[in-house]
A and B are shown apart, each in its own frame.
Chain A
Amino acid sequence: MTSMLQSMPKPVKIRLAVVTGILLLALVVPLLPLADPIAMNVKQRLTEPGWGVWLGRDEYGRDILSRILWGARTSLAVAFTAAILSAIAGTFLGLLGGYFRGVVELVTVRSSEVLLCLPPMLLALLVVTLLGAGSGTLILCLSILFTPGYVRVVYAETLSVRMLDYVAAQESIGTHPARILLRTILPNVTAPLIVQFSLTVAAAMVLESGLSFLGLGVVPPAPSWGLMIRGARGTMDQAPLMLLWPCLALSFAIIALNSLCDALRDALDPKAHGNALSAGRSVAAKMSNRLLPGLFTARQEKIVLAVRDLSLRVTAAPHAPDLVRGISLDIAAGETVALVGESGSGKTMTGLALLGLLPKGVECTSGSILFTRRDGSVADLLSLDEAAMQAMRGDEISMVFQDPGGSLDPVYRVGQQVAEGIRAHRDVNAAVAKAQATDLLRAVGLPDPEQKAKAFPHELSGGQKQRAMIASAIANGPRLLIADEPTTALDVTIQAQIIELFGELKQRDPDMGMIFVTHNLALVAQIADRICVMYAGEIVESGPVAEVFAAPKHPYTAALIASVPEGENERLQAIPGAVPALKDFSSGCRFAPRCGLAQSDCDKHPDLRETGKDRSSRCFHWKEVA
C-alpha cells in the first residue's frame, strides 16, 4: 500500500491528502470541543458570528460551526456506506455476469441496465415514496442507484481480462471459478473500481444533500448540509452568511472528491494526447531566409526542390542528438527520388518537414528548403509563415500518406473531400469542384467514379481509398508530390496497382517531381530514378537507382539490398540489430555498431563524400563495400 502511494503521481497525492483531511476531520468531530449541534437556544437565534460562536447561530439558535462539522460526518457516513454497499453488490454482480455470461449475464447485467434507464433523482424519489424519508432509506436508495454503475465497469473489465491467456490457462487446469474470480480477475479490475468508488462517493453526497434539501433525506434535527441550506433559505434576508457556510462546505467537499477522481482517472488511464494541428514550425530556421547562390546551376535539369542541411530535433530534448541531421536533397522536375530506410531512420519526418507539418515537439533547427514555384520564383519553405505555407500545401506541394483508412474523414463523402482541396486553392463553385473531383477519381482509375464520389470512405476498399487520396493529392497539379509509404498498408496485389498508378501520373504530368518514401527496395527499382538511403537520421548513400543497386557504396545499402528476397536459392540476409533509439545514436559512424566493415576509425563521424559522378556515400571504407 505504501509503495502504491509512493508511485502515485503528485496531483493524486495532493488531492488524496485533502480528501483524507476531510475524512479525518469528520472522524474526530466528537472529540472536538464543539457545542451540541442539535441543542436549540431560541433566545439566541440568528446570533452574529463572535467569540466562541465563530460562525454564529442558526434559526433555532444552534451553533453553525458545530452543525457544519457534524454535518460532514452525516454526509460522509451516508455517502461512504452507500458507496461501499453498492461497490460490493455491483462488483459481485459484474464479476458473475462477465465470467459466466449467458443467463447469469442477462439477470445481473441487463437487469441493472434497466435501472440506468431512469434518471437517478427520479429513482431516488421512487424509493423514498415506498420507504419514507430517513438516513436508512437514503443509504438503501443510493446503494441501489449506484450498483448498476459498478456492474457495468466490473462487467466490462471482467470481459476483457477473461480473454487474457493466463485466465484461460487457469481454466484449463481446472481451477475453481470462485478462485479465478477472486485471485485473478478481481485484482485486475481494482483500478477502474477505485475510480468508480470515488465517483460514487461524490455523486452520493450530491444526491444526499439534494434530497435532504428537499426535506426527503436526512430527518431533522440531525445536522446535514442539505438541511442547513434548506433552513438558511428561509432566513436569507436576515442572515445571508448563514446560507454561505453550508454551501461552501458542500461545494468544497464535492470539488475535492471530484478532482481526486479526475486525477485518479488520469493516473490509472494514461492517454497521451497528440495534437496534429499545432505542429511546430521552426523558429531558428524561419530567420535563415538565405538563398544559396549557384545552387541551381549545379545540375542541368530544372530543380523543383533543393533541401540543404536540414536538421530536426525533439524540442523536449535539446541536448539529445538531432532526430534528422544535415539532410541535403535535390529533386528535378519530373524526377522521382526514393527516400529509403528502416523505421526510425527519419524518412517520414523529413517528408513532413517539407510540408511544414512536423508534429508537436519536433522542430527544425537549421537548413533551408528551397522550392521553385509554378511562376518560377524560388522560396525557402522554412521562412514562409503559416498562411503562406497553407497556400502552398495541397496546391504546389502535396502528400499521400501511409494509412488510407485513417486519411479520409469518415463523415464526408469521398467526392466532397477531394473537392474540398480544390476549393481551398481555386476560386470555383461547389458544382465545378464536384465535377472536377469526379474527373480526378476517374483519372486515378476508380471504377464508377460518379458513384464513388457519393460514397462514404467506409464503403471503399483500402486500395480504392488510397486511389481517392492520390486523386486528392494531385487535384491542383502539384509541382512536388510526397508519397509516404503509400502502399505499406495495402495488400500485395493492390500495392502493384498503386505503384502502376504513380507511374501513370508521372507520364501524365512529366514536370511533377516526386519523393517516394519507402522501406521496400523492390518498389524503388520500379518507380524511382534516384535513391537516397537514410540511416538513423542521416543520408548515408545517394545516387541513380540502377547504379546504387548494381554497386552500393555504403555497407548499410549493401545490407539492405542483400535482405531483399530475390532468387529461390539465395539466402536472405537480415541486418543484425536494429536502428538505435535517438539517445543511443553513436557519436561516430551511426551504422558502425551493426556494420561488418567497422574499423577503429569508424568512431569518428564520417561526412557524405562523393564516390563517383552523382553518387555519394557516408562511409570511410566505401571502396571496400562489395
Chain B
Amino acid sequence: MIGYVLQRTTVAFVLIWLVATSIFMVLHIIPGDPAELLLSQGGVSPDPAIVADLREQLGLNKPLPVQYSTYITKVLHGDLGVSLQDGYPIVDEVLVRLPRTLELILAAGLIAMAIGIPFGTLAAVRSGTPYDRIASTLASIAISVPVFVIGTLAVLVFAQILKLVPAGGFVAFSEDPVKHLTLLVMPASTIAIGLAGILFRITRNSVLEVLGREFIRVARAKGLARTRIIIAHALRNALVPIVTVLALQLGMLLGGTVLVEYVFNWPGLSGYLVRAVEARDYPEVMGIVLVISTIFVFLNLAVDLLYAVLDPRVGQSR
C-alpha cells in the first residue's frame, strides 16, 4: 500500500517535471526568436535594439542549460516570472484567479454528479425501457452541444428574455454572498449539462455491466432488498470508472472553462490565459499552463490514491 502511494506520487512529480521541461523546450525550440516573435505583431519588423533589450530581460542571451536551471530554480521557488505587458508578478494574478475557476469547476461537478449518477443508475436498472432510451438520447444531446452554445443560449433565454439572472459578471463572496452565488448559477449549470451527460453515460454503462456479474445474483439469492443491491453492490462497484471519468473531465475543465468564463465574464484563470494568448505574453502563458498542468497531475494522483480506497484489489501487489 505504502509502495503504491510512493510509486504514484513519484510518477506525478516526474510528470510535472516533464511538463515544465517541455514548456521550456517549446519556448526555445520553436523557429524564430521568442523576443522577436513577441514584438513582431502585425507584420511590422521590430526595432533590433528593442529586441536585444527584451532578450536581455528574458535572459535569452545566456546558454541554454543556464537558462534551464534558472527557470527550474525559479519555478521551484514559486516564481513564475512577470508579465511582459505590465511587469506584474504572474503568481499573484494566478492566486487571485485560480480559486474562482476552481469554484466554478467544483460547483459544476457537484451539479453534474447530482444529476448524472442517479439518473444513470436508474437507466441501467431499467435498461431497454422507454425511460432508458429517452434519458440516453438526452444525455447524447447534452454531450454534443458545445458548451459556449449552451452558455450563449442560456444568457439569451434567462438573462435577456426572462430577466431572471444577470447575464454574467463576478462579485466576491466576501462582498455579497447572495449576489456571488446568483452569478455562479448560470456558468456552473452550463458546464454541468455536458458533464452530467458524460456522467450519466458512464454510470449507466458501468452499473449495467456490474448488474450482469455473478455476485449480483448471489446478493439476490441472499434475499437482499433491491435498492440495497443496486446502491451498495452495483453502484458501489461501478464507482471506479465513474470516479475516473469524473476526475478526467474535471481536469479537462481546468483549461476547458475558457469558453464559459468568456461567455459569462467570469474573471477566472482561463480569462487570464486568453488575454495572455492574445497578447502573446509568453511568460504568462507558460506560467498558467504550468499551474494548470500541475493541478491536473495532482488531481490524477488523488484519483489514483482514491482507487486504493474504492477497490481493495488496487495497490496490493501479488
Contact = CB atoms under 8 A, between A and B. Distances in A.
A, B co-complexed: yes
Given A210-B148, A254-B144, A410-B237, A122 B209 contact: no
Task: Name the prevailing secondary structure of the A interface residues.
Answer: helix
A247 B157 CA distance: 13
Nearest to B270: A121
Interface in B108-145: 124-127, 140-141, 143-145
B296 A119 contact: yes
B156 to A, nearest CB: 6
Interface stretch (B55-63, B174-182, B275-283): B275-283
A459 to B, nearest CB: 8
Contacts of A409: 215, 219, 233, 236-237
A469 B215 CA distance: 10
Which 10 A-B residue pairings sit nearest by Cβ, starting from the closest? A122-B255, A119-B255, A394-B223, A406-B214, A394-B222, A393-B223, A421-B222, A456-B312, A121-B255, A274-B212
A401 interface: yes
A114 interface: yes
Contacts of B310: 411
Nearest to B281: A129
A275 B148 CA distance: 38
A85 B196 CA distance: 32
A202 B146 CA distance: 10
User: Chain B, interface size: which category?
Assistant: 35 or more
Contacts of A411: 236-237, 310-312
Nearest to B32: A130
Interface stretch (A169-177, A255-263, A494-502, A579-587): A255-263
B225 interface: yes
B104 interface: no
A129 B282 contact: yes
Interface stretch (A189-197, A229-237, A336-344): A229-237
Interface stretch (B68-76, B79-87, B256-264): B256-264
A394 B221 contact: yes
A254 B145 CA distance: 7
Contacts of A250: 146, 149
A355 interface: yes
Interface in A94-132: 114, 117-123, 125-126, 128-130, 132
Contact of B256 (A121, A226, A255, A424): A121
Nearest to A209: B146
24 contacts: A118-B255, A120-B255, A120-B256, A122-B292, A126-B285, A126-B289, A206-B146, A229-B152, A250-B146, A255-B141, A255-B145, A273-B127, A273-B212, A274-B211, A274-B212, A276-B216, A355-B221, A357-B220, A401-B214, A401-B217, A408-B218, A409-B233, A410-B313, A472-B218
B213 A421 contact: no
Given A122-B255, A251-B144, A275 B212 contact: yes
A23 interface: no
B50 interface: no
Interface of A: 114, 117-123, 125-126, 128-130, 132, 202, 206, 209-210, 213-216, 226, 229, 233, 236-237, 240, 243-244, 247, 250-251, 254-255, 257-259, 262, 273-279, 355, 357, 386, 390-395, 398-399, 401, 403, 406-411, 420-421, 424-425, 456, 458-459, 469, 472-473
B271 to A, nearest CB: 10
B225 A357 contact: no
A122 B272 CA distance: 12
B155 interface: yes
B244 to A, nearest CB: 14
Contact of B254 (A119, A206, A210): A119
Contact of B274 (A114, A125, A251, A254): A125
Contacts of A408: 215, 218
B208 interface: yes
Nearest to B30: A130
A247 B153 contact: yes
Given A255-B145, A458-B318, A472-B222, 5 more contacts: A125-B285, A126-B26, A226-B148, A355-B220, A399-B218
A442 B51 CA distance: 82
A533 B168 CA distance: 75
Interface centre among B125, B211, B215, B276 (most CB of A within 10 A): B215
B90 interface: no
Contact of A214 (B19, B229, B258): B258
B268 interface: no
Interface in B222-251: 222-226, 228-230, 233-234, 236-237, 251
B148 A213 contact: yes
A596 B224 CA distance: 48
A393 B221 contact: yes
A137 to B, nearest CB: 12
Contacts of A406: 213-215
A420 B148 contact: no
Contacts of B126: 278
Nearest to B233: A409
B195 interface: no
A117 B21 CA distance: 14
Given A277-B234, A357-B220, A210 B146 contact: yes
A398 B30 CA distance: 70
